[in-house]
Amino acid sequence: MRKFPDRESFTRRTRTATWLAVVGLGLLARVRPTLARAIAFVLIATLGIAHGATDDTLLYRFGYRPRGGRFALSSAYGALSIATFIAARRSPAIAGRALFALSWLHFGNGDAAFARACGGRSSFLAETIVRGALPLCIAETDRRSRLVASVAAVAAIAHAARGELADALDLALPTALLLLTPKRFGFAIYFGAWHAVRHTALLLERDARGGTLGKRVRRFARESIVNVAIAVAAGAIAVVLSPAIASRAAKPKHDDVFGALILAITVPHHIAVWLLERRHREA
């Protein structure tokens, strides 16, 4: 039976896969945008949702076991989502800023943690700030995008000068993707083919139950499929019952139902990831 590869080998292969995915989809977006959008949608509907759909399972397995067991933990997770949604609907302006800040921290932390898993030794804080800014601050033409792209370019050059070519590519490729594609399209590719893939790879690598890669993938699929199905069904019902949600999701600035839904998903997911990362460091 083929063994699971060592940590750095597996994460480095995953990193290469995300490079190829971003380059491939970025190029496809220029020549066959409809096909690229379809692929990005599939990635978001599967890995994009699944990478956070096992949060409650993982928290319980890693020792966060309140009185009442797994059901109590899942209920608390769901209650936090509902409370966040209600709060966001009551204060949409604050919710919009909170979502931006929390997403910046979440994407930055996730990519910085993955770089560490690949053997990187750069400043975690600096990497978090720069990497988190990329998917949120880069559009095609605005002043903020040019500033963030310039900072990312300087950081990439600094990495390359130190011989850290992988870290340089980690900054250069998403920057190029987000500069050369419409903002929301580029973000969809980043989220589905970069962030979700890397996060899932860390979950598979850190699965203490062991086993081959195939066995770990099957376990991950079993543990996430119910929550993925619920999320997809809820999203479909919401769009059917309120078509305005679909149109608002396509706007660059939305501080209503769609933004509240995303914040309601992001808050418990970010807390769960933070708890899991802390437990991993302690181990």
Q: Per-residue pLDDT tens for 45-82?
A: 888 888 888 888 888 887 788 888 888 888 888 888 88
Query: How do residues 194-244 score in pLDDT, each as one tens digit?
Result: 999 999 998 888 887 888 888 888 988 888 888 788 777 766 766 666 555
**Average pLDDT for 175-201:** 88
Residue 86 burial by CB count (10 A; 0-12/13-18/19+): exposed, middle or buried? exposed
DSSP letter (8 states) at residue 182: -
| pLDDT averaged over every residue in the chain | 83
Q: How many CB atoms lie within 10 A of CB 116?
A: 14
**Average pLDDT for 83-92:** 85
User: Domain spans of the chain?
Assistant: 7-282
Q: Is 74 left (phi over 0), alpha (psi -120 to 50) or beta?
A: alpha
